[in-house]
Amino acid sequence: MTTEQIIGLIGQPESENLEYKAVLPPSRALGQIICAFGNKSGGVIILGIAEVNQKFIINGLSEDFHSGSVIYKAVDLITPRPVIRSERIIYMDKSLLAVVVEPSAELLAIEGKRYLREGVRNVLQNPPAQNLRSNGDPEIKKLAQNLNSYRLSATSSKAKLLDHYQSVLNILDDLGNLLYPSSPNLPTDQPEGKILMRILIASCADNFETYLTDLLYEIFLANPATLKSPQTVTIKEVLDCADMEEFVNFWAKKKLSKLQRGNVNGFLSENEQLDSLKAINQVQQEKIEKILQIRHLYTHRNGIVDDKFLKSFAGQYALNDEHKLSLHEAVEILGFLAEIADQIDTKAAGKYRLAKFD
């Protein structure tokens, strides 16, 4: 396809062979689109254009990042290796990037996931199996339905979080004899069950933090101006990163330190990109902080209550009590974190024009 042919596509509605993205997506997200096109009849991805209500907004693509490294990493995640080429295009005095994907003779997969272009959607052909028991707990089934609804128009960051939460839900459903042998409203007394419950809840909190890091990374990558900060970095920190994309990812992770200490308000105040969304209220912030305190207790104290924990749960526990969760309490935590991620994701994707996927 020639440059003139690519330019001729601009202004045509998205189709089975054409997709617009307002900003540069992360490598994994871009790889999913390449996979979908390659598994069908090929296509063109034009970055720097937004299609909103059948109107085209020519934003242009920032040249602050070397897009070549993002594309290279996207292709490197796909097996077998797809045939693509990329080209910078100047259109209406704006710099755009076109990625031309050839149809593949073999089925493409990115990190084991196969996508297919269906109309204007990139559809995952082998989603994580739910495998829920037909006679399983109704609260688990309800949350599984909610997770499916949250997948609609998700950023790459939220999709990864939901994959993990679905895996945790499968374990909760499958190991009832170990995790809630007497009742879903009562914590297990089996030592193995208590340990497993701690691991699962800690992993949910960890992955919520990872989601926020990944989302910040998507925002930084899509909007380089948001990287500007009074904070400084050392020369070593810069040189330790292979390229600009890796540095952006490093910087996003560095922003997480206050949240890891359970200070949600401090984390938000230092990350204006998320704080400006006003996606969560004070009550929700306090609940997140309490969940992070539970995670800390499970990870570092084997669930045994200490003085720091008592400050967040005054009057509810005594020093050296063993903290335990029932199935329904665990499902409630999981559902709450998923809902908060969905709230943040929706506002962030809208404000920063992040790439979204079904």
Per-residue pLDDT tens for 301-332? 999 999 989 988 988 999 999 999 999 999 99
Mean pLDDT value of segment 26-47: 94
Q: Are residues 106 and 160 in the same domain?
A: no
Q: Last residue of a domain, which of 124, 147, 165?
A: 124
Residue 132 lies in a domain: no
DSSP per position, 162-196? HHHHHHHHHHHHHTHHHH-SS-TTS----HHHHHH
Q: Are residues 177 and 294 in the same domain?
A: yes
- Given a cut of 60, whether residue 242 has pLDDT beyond it is no
The domain total for the chain is 2
Lowest mean per-residue pLDDT among 90-104, 129-143, 223-237, 343-357: 223-237
pTM listed for this prediction = 0.79
Q: Report pLDDT digits (tens) over 257-301.
A: 656 666 777 777 777 888 899 999 999 999 999 999 999 999 999
In CATH, what number is assigned to the domain containing residue 25? Answer: 3.30.950.30
The type of residue at 66 is H
Q: Are residues 183 and 280 in the same domain?
A: yes
pLDDT of residue 233: 58
Q: Are residues 93 and 217 in the same domain?
A: no
Mean pLDDT value of segment 3-30: 91
Q: Report pLDDT digits (tens) over 186-238.
A: 999 999 999 999 999 999 999 999 899 889 888 877 776 665 555 555 656 55
Q: Are residues 168 and 69 in the same domain?
A: no
Nearest partner of 1 among 89, 80, 78, 74, judged by Cα: 89
Mean pLDDT value of segment 93-122: 94
Q: Are residues 154 and 81 in the same domain?
A: no
Q: Are residues 115 and 257 in the same domain?
A: no
Residue 38 lies in domain: 3-124
